[in-house]
Amino acid sequence: MAKLVGKNKQKDRRKKEKIKASRKRSHIMKLRSQILTFDDLDVSAKSQNVIKGEDISFISKMKSILWSTETGAGLAASQIGILKRVCVVMPDRENRQIITMINPVIMEMGEEKEIKTEGCLSYPDVYGPVERSKKILVMYYTEDWVCKEVNLRGLFARIVQHETDHFDGVCEVQKFHHPVKLLGFQNSRILF
């Protein structure tokens, strides 16, 4: 009798774990579905600055959505239909630290450029070469309205340049170095 009770408990535990995993997958898919795609007009619309005191509670939603993506490294508010100059960036997916930038402005762009393949969460499975500055100086506000001015380089600089393009209604495919060379494949690419 004790063995039968133990087996039933194991079955119940497995069933509960399957239900929990299914709910988690459903939640992740719901979050990802909130990212607008290229055919939505908000993706190519210009964004407005956030005014201090304005409601910025949508930032937590942006962070959750970015966390839910498998390869996302950045997300602009316009990609979820909010036309404000806010982005969340995760330059190191292993570290998983998300940095919020409110009203970021690129103050300086380094002269040295490089061409690298980019993707975009709003253009699923579309990749192409984009020329960007290797180094930038960016000024932005944190969620606590602390003004920061930081020098960025490499991937972090590329992500911020990509997201600030979104604020101006510019999408990655418009910046492809060789527009005829769309690389429509998905592997371990990083999406912004």
Instruction: Tell me the pLDDT tens digit for each residue of 172-191.
Output: 776 675 544 444 444 445 55
**pLDDT value of position 3:** 62
Q: Is residue 77 part of a domain?
A: yes
Mean residue pLDDT of the chain comes to 83
Q: Is residue 180 part of a domain?
A: no
Instruction: Tell me the pLDDT tens digit for each residue of 67-114.
Output: 888 888 999 999 999 999 999 999 887 887 999 999 999 999 999 999
Instruction: Tell me the pLDDT tens digit for each residue of 110-130.
Output: 999 999 988 889 888 888 888
Q: Is residue 158 part of a domain?
A: yes
Range of the domain at 169: 34-175
Residue 143, pLDDT > 80, answer yes
- Count of domains observed in the chain: 1
Share of the chain above pLDDT 90, in %: 49
Give the 3-state DSSP-derived string for the chain, with helices as H, strands as E and coil as C.
Answer: CHHHHHHHHHHHHHHHHHHHHHHHHHHHHHHHCCCCCCCCHHHHCCCECCCCCCCCCHHHHHHHHHHHCCCECEEEHHHHCCCECEEEECCCCCCCCCEEEEEEEEEEECCCEEEEEEEECCEEEEEEEEEEECEEEEEEECCCCCEEEEEEEHHHHHHHHHHHHHHCCCCHHHHECCCCCCECCCCCCCEC
Task: Catalogue the active-site residues.
Answer: 163
Greater pLDDT, 22 or 139: 139
**pLDDT value of position 47:** 96
32 falls in which pLDDT band (50, 70, 90)? low
- Please tell me which of 1-15, 65-79, 108-122, 140-154 the model is most confident about, judged by mean pLDDT: 140-154
Q: Is residue 154 part of a domain?
A: yes
Q: Is residue 15 part of a domain?
A: no
Q: Is residue 169 part of a domain?
A: yes
Q: Is residue 20 part of a domain?
A: no
Q: Is residue 166 part of a domain?
A: yes
The CATH number linked to 78 is 3.90.45.10
